[in-house]
Amino acid sequence: MTEELLRLSKRMSELGLSSRREADEWIARGWVRVDGKVVSELGTKVYPSQHITVERQAAAEQSKRVTVLINKPVGYVSGQAEDGYTPAVALIKAENRWAEDRSPEQFHPTQLRSLVAAGRLDIDSVGLLVLTQDGRVAKQLIGHDTEVDKEYLVRVQYTKGDKLPDSELKRLNHGLWLDGKPLLPAKVRWQNDDQLSFTLREGKKRQIRRMCELVGLKVLGLKRVRIGKVKLGDLPTGQWRYLSADEQF
């Protein structure tokens, strides 16, 4: 069987060495070796069996990249500024850092460069949002084959009668379609009389609100409380902390 050539940056991303953007940066700086030889030409292709190593500078630079957890308030967008709305990254400043953050990391404004949201949380939703400079973290959380689930607490009101029928709760767990495609199975259960817990593996635009609409539920409030093994915990609204070295999604 013949091997297929792949772009070096794509192969590095597949191997979990870096994001594609980081890979291109490192190749341009001469920090990547294929079978022991430095490769500095962007767009170079390699065979999967070839051995890829990166120089120590790349690893050192990567370990300096920060990941920040923020408890996003209503009225902030998670990504780029849009239509006069402020992006959540504007809240990342020294005075908004949670006093109980136990990370030894010192805040410096250069950390705001290339700090991107790894996943969306829409303007009307609150809770845990991850901003990272580390391409590996972003890929882990928003790559199309992500294994990381996310948990939300959703306050709802049933609009078609007294109480959501069990058959509709079952459909929320599995059986709904959005955008012409079946949704992956979810875990949806009642937390109390007016609040559901949703655990999802995917994140289509306004997915939970649209799922609720399909079964006659109106969403009154939506809060993300967990991403993988990382919980929102007691982090106050509008404040942030660093992902600590011993935390993994």
Give tens-digit pLDDT for 17-41. 887 888 998 999 999 999 999 999 9
CATH of domain 150-227: 3.30.2350.10
Determine the residue type at 141: L
Whether domain 67-145+230-242 has CATH 3.30.70.580:
yes
Pairwise CA distance, residues 70 & 234, whole Å: 11
Task: Read off the pLDDT of each residue in 54-81 and give the average, rounded to a whole number.
Answer: 88
Task: Read off the pLDDT of each residue in 137-143 and give the average, rounded to a whole number.
Answer: 85
Q: Which is nearest to 120 in space by CA: 175, 229, 202?
A: 202
Q: Do domains 67-145+230-242 and 150-227 have the same CATH topology?
A: no
Domain positions in the chain are 6-63, 67-145+230-242, 150-227
* Per-residue burial over 88-123, b = 16 or more CB atoms within 10 Å of its CB, e = otherwise: bbebbeeeebbeebebebebeeebbeebbbbbbbee
Q: What is the pLDDT of residue 75?
A: 94
CB 135 within 8 A of CB 122: no
Q: What is the pLDDT of residue 164?
A: 96
Pairwise CA distance, residues 98 & 94, whole Å: 9
Distances (CA, A) of 58 to 4, 29, 44, 105, 167: 27, 9, 18, 20, 53
- Output the average pLDDT for the chain: 92
The CATH homologous superfamily for domain 6-63 is RNA-binding S4 domain (3.10.290.10)
Local structure of 86: helix, strand or coil:
strand
24, 83, 122, 246: the active-site residue: 122
CB 123 within 8 A of CB 74: yes
Pairwise CA distance, residues 139 & 18, whole Å: 9
Q: What is the pLDDT of residue 217?
A: 97
- Retrieve residue 102's tokens: 């136990």
Active site residue 122: yes
Give tens-digit pLDDT for 73-123. 999 999 877 778 899 999 999 999 999 999 998 898 878 878 889 988 999
